[in-house]
Amino acid sequence: MSRWIEVGQRITHKNDEVAADLRRRFTVAGVKVCSLISAPGSGKTAWLTRTLAELKVREQRAATLVGDLESDCDARRLAQAGFPVRQIQTHGICHLEAAMIEEFCLGWDLSELDYLFIENVGNLVCPLAFDLGQSQKILMISTPEGEDKPLKYPQAVAWAELVLVTKMDLAEAVGFDSSALVENIRRVNPDIPILFTSARSGLGMDEWLKQL
Amino acid sequence: MSRWIEVGQRITHKNDEVAADLRRRFTVAGVKVCSLISAPGSGKTAWLTRTLAELKVREQRAATLVGDLESDCDARRLAQAGFPVRQIQTHGICHLEAAMIEEFCLGWDLSELDYLFIENVGNLVCPLAFDLGQSQKILMISTPEGEDKPLKYPQAVAWAELVLVTKMDLAEAVGFDSSALVENIRRVNPDIPILFTSARSGLGMDEWLKQL
């Protein structure tokens, strides 16, 4: 076990240097960078697709980088709003790294952007160790996953600066107990803001855009 | 990237040796070992809890090892049927390894068991690289996760010997297209058996127990 962690720490140290450089460039360019993690299928892409459409209406400028092991399904969905989108195919790697962000931002004029969204590979563990130079760390938990997720993945809750509870339109069908989820989140991260959202109904979109 | 993969390969080579030894012991003991992976919140524990209750009625003997980063929520749910259950807390490790299975089986008389279920940490990537000495590899995909999961996580579909589609009771609410999911699974793994299940309604339980 300790061998695994040691090796990981050496790799993430190098990642941190690249991320620090990215953060400097993002800051100079004045772009807000939101890094999103969640379990696979929690609705990151659906929420972002709706967010991008809303930003378009508001004449904001955004770009998105999206990570998946394979396929460009997500990038095609995210491109609907007409903003720049690039798919990062990790081919077996379980998380995004700062070097990938650096590579896939190439050619984009960051100073032309208000927002850059980074949608990580669906994974509640490995992405936590890799700083991507973001300004805000966002964790999504969908209602069908159950209220106990924060107890089983406390590191993800501790990492986050904002929790979006997604798929609230399914809350009744799955017997979701929102106060139990909030209690479990607050046990790990007492002061974190929590927004209840639905990409289908638009619930929470105004509040989300306001805090952006 | 390549450095990450190289290091991983050295670690998994050691794991494979332990797993091969475990497999010999499981075979000698005559216990069928089912290894389950899925995204977090896909319903592994709910399905196993119901499975264990059904096996109890049929006077079969089973035990379960369940992995999570923290907490013993799952072990407490799985213990309801009265069979032996042990919680493996990985404390930050994103997957189970053969050495953990070896350690947590200690004291169990394997020859007294018909089935051993191993519920991995919720993760569709990292567990694939770690053989646990199992006899059957099972992938669960829940209906709210969407039909495109096999395209985005093809390695998980290729790894599996059986796919359980879980939470079929939510299929209508989430607008789930089962033929699209089947098509996407078959693109990666053309001959794999696929069972449609619901831990709530019991859909698919008879077929699942039959193939066990």
ipTM of the complex: 0.93
A211 contacts A138 by C-beta, under 8 angstroms: no
For position B133, what pLDDT does the model report? 98
d(CA A34, CA A64) in angstroms, rounded, equals 10
* pLDDT, tens only, B25-57: 999 999 999 999 999 999 999 999 999 999 999
DSSP type of residue B68: E
Residue B170 to residue A170, Cβ atoms within 8 A = yes
What are the C-alpha distances in Å from B52 to residues B41, B110, B114, B119, B202? 19, 17, 12, 13, 13
Contact yes or no for B11/A95 (Cβ under 8 A): no
CA quadruple B159, B163, B169, B171: dihedral, nearest 10 = 70
Q: Which residues of A touch B173 (CB under 8 A)?
A: 170, 173
pLDDT at A1 over 50: no
**pLDDT score of A9:** 74
If one compares A2 and A117, the residue with the highest pLDDT of the two is A117
A80-115 residue pLDDT tens = 999 999 999 999 999 999 999 999 999 999 999 999
Strand A62-68 and strand A85-89: pairing? parallel
- The count of other CB atoms within 10 Å of the CB of residue A36 is 25
Structure tokens at B172: 């209508």
Task: Flag whether residue A180 sits within 8 Å of chain B, measured between CB atoms.
Answer: no
- pLDDT category of residue A46 using cuts at 50, 70 and 90: very high
Whether B74 has its CB under 8 Å from any CB of chain A: the answer is: yes
Does B171 reach chain A within 8 Å, measured CB to CB? no
* pLDDT band, residue B6 (cuts 50/70/90): low
Determine the pLDDT at residue A133. 98
Give the gap in angstroms from C-alpha A162 to the nearest C-alpha of chain B.
19
Instruction: Please name every residue paired with B135 in a beta bridge, in sequence order, or none if there are none.
Output: none
Given a cut of 60, is residue A4 above it in pLDDT? no
CB atoms within 10 A of CB A9: 10
d(C-alpha B185, C-alpha B158), whole Å: 9
